[in-house]
Amino acid sequence: MIRINEESKQFHLTNGTISYIFHIMKNGQPGHLYYGKALRHQDDFSHFQTYENVAPNTTHPFEGDPGFSLETVKQEFPVYGKGDYREAAVLIEGEQGQLISDFEYTSYQVEKGKSALSGLPSSYAADDQAETLRIQMIDPFSKVEVELVYTIFSDDPVIARSCRIKNSGEETVQIKRLMSLSLDLPEADYDMLHLSGAWARERHLQRKRLSPGIHQVSSQRGASSHQQNPFLALKRTTATEQTGEVMGLHFVYSGNFVAQAEVDHYDTTRLQMGIHPTRFEWNLSPEDSFQSPEVLLTYSDQGLNGLSQAAHRLIHDHLIAKRWVKKERPVLINNWEATYFDFNEQKLDKFAAEAKELGIELFVLDDGWFGKRNDDTTSLGDWFVDKEKLPNGIGALAEKVKAKGLQFGLWFEPEMISPESELIEQHPEWVVGMPDRPHTLGRNQLVLDFSNPEVVDYLFERMSSIIEETKLDYIKWDMNRNITEPFSKTGTAPGEFFHRYLLGVYELYDRLTTNYPDVLFESCAGGGGRFDLGMMYYAPQAWASDDTDAVERLKIQYGTSIAYPLSTIGSHVSAVPNHQTLRETALKFRADVAYFGTFGYELDPSQLTEEEKAEVKKQIKTYKQVQPLIQSGTFYRLSSPFDQSETAWMLWDEEKREGVVGWYKPIFYPNPKNNQTLKLRGLSESASYEVAGLNRTFYGDELMQRGLPLGIEFNGANTGSIDRGGDQQSHVYFIKEL
Ligand code: GLA
């Protein structure tokens, strides 16, 4: 998959679907030649590097060659201070404060497969699934070395990129900026798509046309954030959901990040993604190395939906831990919105018994089971059971729950500490912030210094002991505030703090998932505040949002599906009026939305009427039919809640030739269009299909071209013949090829 023109030092990474081509330019730096749909290999691609547009008085030609200026050539790893005034991929400060670097190519290696990145989550591939190219360079003055790493996957239109810096010089240097990916595209006719939001409305799809200047999404919160997701796509302005060129960047990282597209004065686009350079200053002593996190670069010529499908496949096959990919996730019930902090053993026992009766498989005890935590002001860090609430201990409760045939799960917020806790008295030095300055509270809590290995050890010991005592099946790992006063009391350099904090989080995740591989982790950060591939490497599912309102969830889940597979999206049915919006929605509507994710309930079963209980039992059976499709099916978005009044999507399993469609209309409007149908995708034109509940069969071409009939809608006059009407209409259709 990696073809090399030795003499001209041209590297062509291709798997028949995509091509990524670059070469070593005459100044020794790597120059970009092509990225996109696969090209036939040629013995010489040098004509791909164009040198037009060089205006001699504003550019700085290399060795007097007016045709060669860093300002105009397309590059793979641009440096600062040599005549390219766009953003550099790297800034390294020497002892005199200079930021000038000049990396020259020295060698390359090709390897089968893909190796892990030390200390960091990353995609994985067996020897026959990928090939990796390493390009080595050195700055001949500072003797700082760079290794650019490219992996191409054999069956996926994806390139993984990362880099490593090594200080082979004699002076300590400081890395001030290091992009994991920098890619120069020859054009700028793109729309930039990103997923933005806030608490309770995460990952709404945003679109803007590129224009000269820098278009950026980022986080400096110490977490990837509710506000901006570490994902960005560039879509040709003519591309649609189903057609045309789109490329996407995912960052396999959960902390401060930047993702940006910079359009220059020649209408070329520089795409970059990496750790946010603000407040990042990494000291590199002689012989030390720094590993960047990884970026996954995905390409599709089948529109945004094609890009999502490729990303979903890659995340399933090469990022989520293998043991979870095909394993069906348990239908869970979480007591948070049912009880908040107000529970005891008897209440939980009854809760679990009723849940079991409904067909639920996993009972998750949320916040409030430890320390003296009766509200959110105390006890984070004191991971010892609260004997007032659970006098027989957490092990005894787990045993009772398991005796009913349920799995047992617990909520933890390992990274946090309450100002009122035993832990803070024992270890005030473990709190993030400066000793002699006030510490800003968030949700009444402070942050533990995960850059300190003692903190990680303490939590590993505490969590292991509870996992073993309860024979725990599941952990919801929460993180309810962002970092303020980023400062370690134990000597971590301030510019290294954010990254070292995250390395500590990954270390704890790594130790727990290695020692307890059967415990299913669900990540959470006040809902979806850390919904990223760094987390998914350890925790295959994530609580998508604290907002469980089904109408709001349409946008949250639709937006999330652009970058992440449905198997990662925690989606539950909650009580009404909804606790985040006070909206009332029908139980059917809530479940029809929640089916398209990892399903569960967030309510008190004893508050359900007999009729509702019967409905919940049916819902769980229905989910059992949807679930295999979530893990093995291909997802098609059919109608967007961001553009249309109806939302629709479908999952289709090409091998089993069956699928499921979800269709939703939250608000009725009078005198609607008649002959309403929903055009499906992914079927075979000439095959016949049965749609459960509709008493005739359909050809694939009919379902895709004319559409699935949605039934007659109330129009104010047709009262005798209507199939549906009113607000919150929804339908889930199961489809099978005959
Ligand atoms: C966060 C989570 C909720 C719940 C509470 C508990 O807000 O997102 O699901 O676990 O914390 O305090």
- Residue-wise pLDDT tens digits, 501-559: 999 999 999 999 999 999 999 999 999 999 999 999 999 999 999 999 999 999 999 99
* Measured distance CA(726)–CA(738) in Å, rounded: 34
Asked if residue 367 has pLDDT above 70, the reply is: yes
> Mean pLDDT throughout 347-362?
98
DSSP annotation of 117 reads P
Residue 169 has pLDDT above 90, yes or no: yes
In this predicted structure, what is the pLDDT of residue 227? 98
Section 130-145 average pLDDT: 97
Does the annotation mark 84 as catalytic? no
| Per-residue pLDDT tens digits for 39-86 | 999 999 999 987 765 676 667 888 778 778 898 899 999 999 999 999
Query: 323-630 has which fold?
Result: TIM Barrel (3.20.20)
- The architecture of the domain spanning 73-319 is Distorted Sandwich (2.70)
546, 547, 549, 604: the catalytic one is: 546
436 catalytically annotated: no
Ligand 1 binding pocket (C-beta < 6 A) is 336, 366-367, 411, 478, 480, 524, 526-527, 543, 546
pLDDT for 61 equals 80
| pLDDT for 720 | 85
Angle at 71 between CA 66 and CA 73, to 5 degrees: 80
pLDDT of residue 682: 97
What local confidence, expressed as pLDDT, does residue 54 receive? 66
Q: What is the spatial order of strands in the sheet that 2-5 belongs to?
A: 2-5, 10-14, 18-24, 30-37
Domain ranges in the chain are: 73-319, 323-630, 647-737
User: Closest Cα to atom 11, ligand 1: which residue?
Assistant: 526
Mean pLDDT of 188-209: 98
Average pLDDT over residues 249-272: 97
On whether the CB atoms of residues 272 and 259 are closer than 8 A, the answer is yes
φ and ψ of 299, to 5 deg = -125, 145
Please give the pLDDT value at position 52.
Answer: 65
| Residue 122 CB partners (closer than 8 Å, separation 6+) | 114, 116, 160, 162, 252, 293, 294, 537
Q: Which ligand 1 atom lies nearest to the CA of residue 366?
A: 10
Question: Choosing from 139, 478, 549, 592, which is the catalytic residue?
Answer: 478
Instruction: Give the chain's mean pLDDT.
Output: 96
Token pair in block for residue 416: 């946090």
Residue 674 has pLDDT above 80, yes or no: no
Superfamily of segment(s) 647-737: Golgi alpha-mannosidase II (2.60.40.1180)
CA–CA distances in Å: residue 174 to residues 115, 144, 166? 26, 11, 11
| Ligand 1 centroid distance, CA of 159 (Å) | 36
Identical fold between 323-630 and 647-737: no
- Residues 682-715: tens digit of each pLDDT: 999 999 999 999 989 999 999 999 999 999 999 8
Q: Which atom of ligand 1 is nearest to the CA of 546?
A: 8
pLDDT at 721: 86
Q: How far is the CA of 527 from the centre of ligand 1 (A)?
A: 7
Give 28's pLDDT tier (boundaries 50, 70, 90).
very high
pLDDT of residue 57: 67
**Ligand 1 binding pocket mutation candidate from 364, 524, 535 (most atoms within 8 A of CB):** 524
Tell me the C-alpha distance between 408 and 364, whole Å.
6
Q: At what angle do helices 550-563 and 587-594 cross, to 10 degrees?
A: 10
pLDDT in tens, 446-475: 999 999 999 999 999 999 999 999 999 999
Give tens-digit pLDDT for 562-603.
999 999 999 999 999 999 999 999 999 999 999 999 999 999
Q: Would you call 85 exposed, middle or buried from its count of C-beta atoms within 10 A (0-12, 13-18, 19+)?
A: middle
Task: Give the C-alpha separation, 202 to 183, whole Å.
Answer: 28
Query: What is the mean pLDDT of the segment spanning 479-484?
Result: 98
* For residue 626, pLDDT beyond 80: yes
